[in-house]
Amino acid sequence: TDWSGKTGASGVVYAGNSAGNYSSVQLRSDKSTAGIITTANASEYVARKVTVDWNTNTASGRTINIYGKDSAYSSPAELYDTGNCGTLIGSIANGSSTELSITSDYNFIGIRSNNGALYANSIKIDWEPAAEVALESIQITTSPTSLQYSGKALDKTGMVVTATYDD
């Protein structure tokens, strides 16, 4: 089933292609459109953790791959395209893990099955506001070509202004 426009508490918007079986979310790796993606992030949040509550009908070892990008996903099919899937942040395997901590700053997340059908009672993504970037200094690093002005407007030709931010 295709679905879209689901907004979480953080304001991040999700879309995806999934099935429902065993009162759970079902993802399959053999269907090149199955997955969960973030399509909008107006508040500039970054993902910090993904937690899976595995359904008991999921075979041990079945794995969810989590990808991150700095631009929005447009379709779950991107998760199967090595040029568009984003960076593989990590995986969560049934029987050995339930969560993945994210240390890099990704504004957009994609989730898909790595191997076969799997069932999750829930998949939770924790978001936090992205750090604000602050201006530390601004300076003229190259003077303008003309430095003498008598009754003329400032000619900025050749001038280079450099701003330094705290990031």
Helix (H, G, I), strand (E, B) or coil at 78: helix
This model's pTM is above 0.75: yes
Can you give the pLDDT of all 167 residues of the chain as single tens digits? Answer: 889 999 988 889 999 999 888 889 999 887 678 999 999 987 789 999 999 999 999 999 999 999 999 999 999 999 999 999 999 999 999 999 999 999 999 999 999 999 889 999 999 999 999 877 778 899 999 988 888 888 888 888 998 999 988 76
Helix (H, G, I), strand (E, B) or coil at 147: coil
**Residue 48 CB burial class (10 angstroms; 0-12, 13-18, ≥19):** middle
DSSP 38-70: EEE-TT-EEEEEEEEEE-TTSPTT-EEEEEEES
CA distances from residue 31 to 15, 66, 88, 112 in whole angstroms, order as listed:
16, 17, 19, 10
C-beta atoms surrounding 86 within 10 Å: 19
